[in-house]
């Protein structure tokens, strides 16, 4: 291979850190929402308290997320145009409608979940003014919970399509992407709920250690699925075209290897697995907190590795 | 070559002119007649005449047929000397800001001492027939113009950079002055005046040929029809309209043992 590029012009990287952060926040939101609704639909009364935390986190995180997107635009003042003009082949186009609908549904879900407990507050009065206080709260919680699941799948799944349909980038162009995004969303969502409850609901956690250890094992299970999918992705890329192999080498031995192998896989996947499935450590609140934090850092690293690492191999 | 192929024109100006002087070519003879008449008319217009290669298409359309122009470029790598004057001409034409390029030349050294050769690959937007950038633009800012050029409505672009991520050829960039996506336009403002793009006009090796692929008499149509032309990354299926002569040799390594990475190694940014 006796050829060497001796001159070429630099090319800008299209998607930067803000896009990675946006993926991270929509993932956290979708993951939290799944937990909250699953707890309710499956009648897991023991986890009700965690489900309530998740119900609040989901809309809050998703209201934060689009600000990263808008901040990343070169013309932020023109952001509203994504809702005016449509292009059915562009995930950013249809995704912007999902990004509008899902938070509304998630806010309504949380409102009806808490409505009967917040009587007298300004939120309740606001809800009354909007005509939300007449109907049966239980039924509407159920309704918006069930409606929210496909919306949450869509709102995070579509972010997977944003990268998945880009055929020029070998690391992105995979049907695994939307599914991988959803699985990693579950991972980060569960980790966030565990960490949040340990930090801000300490007494309840202390009284229900077994409950938390159980959730930790669920987290471990989802991490295993996530790691398996990443393994499949890497193995197929390694057997792929020259460009695919070059793209995956960026993660395995190139500039992103420390973030991929070190942070995403080892610190964010394998180490937490040892803690969560360990009979002794898995029940200790401190270790659970450390494991969840590592998992969150790992998923954040995954977003950065995919978005930035996926653009490292030059196209021209 | 099929003389009943859809007739076409290069610029609106010439279209109007041709309409006045030609009749519908339903037969081969009719077409030739139309071509001849149109050529006379155009010589009078003295617009296209002074630019040898940019002769517009010359036949009138049947009354109800759509006039189609398919702009294309052929770059003969055997002629390119890697002087980068195309890049300079492009910079001047559009006052392209520092650090970004609508047109550029990649230079590669091939072989090992003492058999070393320097080869050049001039680059620009491929103006694909099936453009990946247009497919992903969420606000219809990127579009495929009727004449085949892939263009941007700069006032519509929100700067989401999705087109940059999707383009398999790194043709797009964010203009640091206008803060929208930007790229080569095939110099459509010059084409409208019957002129060649700036890079074509300036190419001192005559490596570049520009014109209407739908016009069987155009230089590009002849080159594409008779020469072994290739396009970049054909497998991407975007159907580039910038054709290269000698690209296969450029992509091959000197010893013939497989191609070298056109895509380069990591760190090329």
ipTM of the complex: 0.91
Interface of B with A in 222-251 (CB under 8 A): 236-237
pLDDT digits (tens, 9 = 90+) for B87-114: 999 999 999 999 999 999 999 888 788 8
Which regions in chain A score pLDDT beneath 70? Answer: 1-2
- φ/ψ of B193, rounded to 5, equals -90, 5
pLDDT-above-90 percentage for chain B: 60
Contacts of A86 in chain B (CB under 8 A): 140
| Length, in residues, of chain B | 269
CA atoms of B269 and B164, how far apart (whole Å): 14
Interface of B with A in 101-130 (CB under 8 A): 101, 104-112, 118, 123
pLDDT digits (tens, 9 = 90+) for B203-239: 999 999 999 999 999 999 999 999 999 999 998 999 9
Q: In the predicted model, is pLDDT for residue B185 greater than 90?
A: yes
CB of A59 within 8 A of CB of A103?
Answer: yes
Look up tokens 């907190």; give the residue: A289
Nearest CA of chain A to the CA of B80: how many Å? 15
Across the interface, do A75 and B123 touch by the CB < 8 Å criterion? no
Closest CB to B170: pick one of A72, A81, A315.
A315
Nearest CA of chain B to the CA of A241: how many Å? 11
Closest CB to A90: pick one of B110, B162, B263.
B162
Question: From A77, which residue of chain B is nearest by alpha-carbon distance?
Answer: B158
Q: Three-state DSSP class for A288?
A: helix
**Short-list B75, B72, B267, B99, CA closest to B173:** B99
Q: In the predicted model, is pLDDT for residue B134 greater than 90?
A: yes
State residue A102's pLDDT score: 92
CA atoms of A7 and A17, how far apart (whole Å): 28
The pLDDT confidence band at residue B13, using thresholds 50, 70 and 90, is: very low
Quick check: B145 contacting A, CB < 8 Å?
A: no
- ∠ Cα B191 B136 A227 (to 5°): 145
Quick check: B190 contacting A, CB < 8 Å?
A: no
Which is more confidently placed, B31 or B185? B185
Write the CB contacts of B207 (distance below 8 Å, at least 6 apart in sequence): B75, B76, B77, B79, B80, B81, B122
Write the CB contacts of B70 (distance below 8 Å, at least 6 apart in sequence): B8, B147, B148, B212, B213, B214, B241
Look up tokens 């209407």; give the residue: B212
The pLDDT confidence band at residue B27, using thresholds 50, 70 and 90, is: very low
State residue B67's pLDDT score: 65
CA atoms of A203 and B112, how far apart (whole Å): 71
State residue B113's pLDDT score: 83
State residue A178's pLDDT score: 95
CA atoms of A53 and B38, how far apart (whole Å): 77
Quick check: B260 contacting A, CB < 8 Å?
A: yes
pLDDT digits (tens, 9 = 90+) for B163-175: 999 999 999 999 9
Contacts of A4 in chain B (CB under 8 A): 108-110
Closest CB to A81: pick one of B158, B261, B263.
B158
Across the interface, do A85 and B156 touch by the CB < 8 Å criterion? yes
State residue B253's pLDDT score: 52
**Short-list B108, B47, B77, CA closest to B223:** B77
Across the interface, do A4 and B109 touch by the CB < 8 Å criterion? yes
Contacts of A169 in chain B (CB under 8 A): 165
CA atoms of B58 and A286, how far apart (whole Å): 81
Which is more confidently placed, B63 or A6? A6
State residue B237's pLDDT score: 92
Distances, alpha carbon B34 to alpha carbons A130, A156, B46, B212, in Å: 71, 59, 18, 17
State residue B229's pLDDT score: 94
Closest CB to A87: pick one of B137, B171, B264.
B137
* H helices present in B187-240, as ranges: 188-191, 198-202, 219-226
Q: Which of B122, B123, B165, B252 to probe the A interface (max A CBs under 10 A)?
A: B165
Write the CB contacts of B226 (distance below 8 Å, at least 6 apart in sequence): none
For B41-53, what is the mean pLDDT?
A: 41
How many Cα atoms are found within 13 Å in the side-chain-facing hemisphere of A297? Answer: 17
- φ/ψ of A5, rounded to 5, equals -75, 120
Q: In the predicted model, is pLDDT for residue B32 greater than 60?
A: no
Q: In the predicted model, is pLDDT for residue B51 greater than 80?
A: no
């Amino acid at each position: 291979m006796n050829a060497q590029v001796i001159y070429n012009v630099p090319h800008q990287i299209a998607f930067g850190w803000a896009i990675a952060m946006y993926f991270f926040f929509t993932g956290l939101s979708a993951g939290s929402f799944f937990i909250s609704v699953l707890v309710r639909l499956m009648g897991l009364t023991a986890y009700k308290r965690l489900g309530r935390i998740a119900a609040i986190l989901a809309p809050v995180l998703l209201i934060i997320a689009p600000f990263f997107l808008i901040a990343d635009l070169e013309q932020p003042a023109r952001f509203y145009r994504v809702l005016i003009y449509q292009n059915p082949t562009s995930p950013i186009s249809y995704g912007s409608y999902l990004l509008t609908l899902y938070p509304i549904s998630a806010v309504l879900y949380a409102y009806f979940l808490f409505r009967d407990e917040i009587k007298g507050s300004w939120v309740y009065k606001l809800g009354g003014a909007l005509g939300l206080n007449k109907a049966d709260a239980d039924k509407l919680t159920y309704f918006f919970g069930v409606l929210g699941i496909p919306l949450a799948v869509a709102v995070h799944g579509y972010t997977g399509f944003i990268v998945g349909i880009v055929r020029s980038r070998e690391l992105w162009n995979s049907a695994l992407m939307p599914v991988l995004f959803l699985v990693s969303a579950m991972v980060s969502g569960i980790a966030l709920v565990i960490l949040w409850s340990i930090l801000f609901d300490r007494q309840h956690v202390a009284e229900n250690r077994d409950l938390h250890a159980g959730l930790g094992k669920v987290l471990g299970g989802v991490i295993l699925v996530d790691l398996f999918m990443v393994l499949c992705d890497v193995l197929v890329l390694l057997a792929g075209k020259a460009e695919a192999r070059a793209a995956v080498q960026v993660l395995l031995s190139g500039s992103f290897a420390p973030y991929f192998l070190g942070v995403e896989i080892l610190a964010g996947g394998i180490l937490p697995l040892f803690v969560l499935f360990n009979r002794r450590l898995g029940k200790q609140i401190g270790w659970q907190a450390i494991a969840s934090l590592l998992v969150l850092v790992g998923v954040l690293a995954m977003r950065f590795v995919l978005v930035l690492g996926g653009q490292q191999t030059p196209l021209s | 070559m099929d003389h009943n192929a859809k007739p076409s024109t290069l610029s609106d100006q010439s279209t109007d002119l041709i309409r006045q002087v030609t009749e519908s070519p339903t037969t081969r003879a009719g077409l030739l007649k139309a071509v001849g008449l149109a050529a006379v008319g155009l010589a009078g217009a003295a617009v296209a005449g002074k630019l040898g290669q940019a002769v517009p298409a010359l036949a009138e359309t049947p009354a109800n047929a759509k006039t189609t122009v398919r702009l294309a470029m052929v770059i003969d790598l055997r002629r390119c000397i890697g002087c980068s004057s195309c890049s300079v001409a492009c910079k001047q034409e559009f006052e392209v800001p520092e650090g970004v390029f609508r047109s550029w030349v990649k230079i590669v050294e091939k072989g090992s001492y003492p058999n070393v050769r320097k080869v050049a690959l001039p680059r620009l937007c491929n103006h694909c027939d099936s453009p990946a950038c247009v497919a992903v633009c969420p606000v219809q800012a990127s579009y495929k113009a009727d004449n085949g050029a892939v263009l941007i409505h700069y006032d519509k672009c929100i700067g989401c950079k999705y087109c940059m991520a999707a383009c398999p050829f790194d043709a797009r960039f964010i203009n640091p002055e206008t803060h929208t996506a930007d790229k080569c336009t095939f110099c459509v403002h010059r084409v409208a005046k019957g002129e060649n793009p700036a890079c074509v006009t300036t190419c001192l090796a005559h490596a570049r040929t520009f014109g209407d692929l739908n016009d069987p008499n155009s230089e590009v149509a002849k080159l594409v029809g008779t020469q072994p032309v290739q396009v970049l990354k054909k497998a991407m299926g975007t159907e580039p309209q910038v054709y290269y002569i000698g690209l296969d040799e450029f992509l091959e390594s000197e010893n013939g043992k497989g191609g070298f990475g056109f895509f380069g190694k990591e760190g090329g940014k």
